[in-house]
Amino acid sequence: MVPTAMDLRGKVALVTGASRGIGAAIAVALAREGASVVVNHLSNDAAAAQTVAACIAAGGDAWAVKADVGSAEAVRAMAEDIGREAGAIDIVVNNAFRPYAFDPERRQRFDDLAWRDYQAQFDGAVGAAFNVCHAVLPQMRRRARGSIVNIASNLVEHPVVPYHDYTTAKAALVAFSRNLASELGPMGIRVNCVAPGLVHPTRGSQGTRESFRESLMAATPLRRLARPEDVAGPVLFLACDLSAFMTGQVLTVDGGLVMR
């Protein structure tokens, strides 16, 4: 039967870095479609509790789990706890990333960067997704189904500002996702990416000057920046059965700045 709606009732979704910003918007959107949402966070208990409350108000079940996705042991324990509490994980959104300030005027130039800067961003983007996927895939394989959505960046296609370390790590995340998609497709598990442009307001974009934001909006066909809720819609699409025949893809969410 051809799916006709984003019905996620009965599905368990894990969203990493979901206490605020894009992650929180994704968590609430999943809950609105009936999913039981695990709000992963690193340290901000109050913000995570607010996201949980918003998910419940939207009509879904939700609870917070504190775990550092940079720790394989912590992620493994989190996945096992979710399995015991709610059954197998159906949807994973790898949204957490190492903190980064998107400030074109104060960014580090290439000559100022050390390899450890790249490694830190690689660990935050690919390392965290690696840990989460390792932990949840046994559950997905047993049921021969699942959807993984990794949050990349449109900077991979259009480095309007050369954030060298961050963008290189996100490019690696796309390659990581496509290799997983190729291997896991025969098992019924899909892996895709959503690549936002600059999203405002978020903690990462708060240092971006208004003049730069205005120039970016002027170059964008839809003449505005993405809001966290704009990213949530494409994630929902890739998480649900409406996209059942899509894997290894990157959906760019930047108002048309990047066209492919």
Nearest CA among 77, 50, 74 for reference residue 64: 50
Evaluate the omega torsion of the peptide bond into residue 201 and state whether it is cis, within 30 degrees of 0.
yes
The residue among 76, 54, 69 whose CA lies nearest residue 15 is: 69
100 is an active site residue:
no
Which of the following is catalytic: 100, 118, 163, 166? Answer: 166
On the CB side of 144, how many CA atoms lie within 13 Å of its CA? 2
Backbone phi and psi for residue 149, each to the nearest 5 degrees, phi listed first = -125, 120
Terminal C-alpha separation, the chain: 31
Contacts of 162 (CB under 8 A, 6+ apart): 107, 110
CB atoms within 10 A of CB 4: 8
Name the residues annotated as catalytic.
Answer: 166
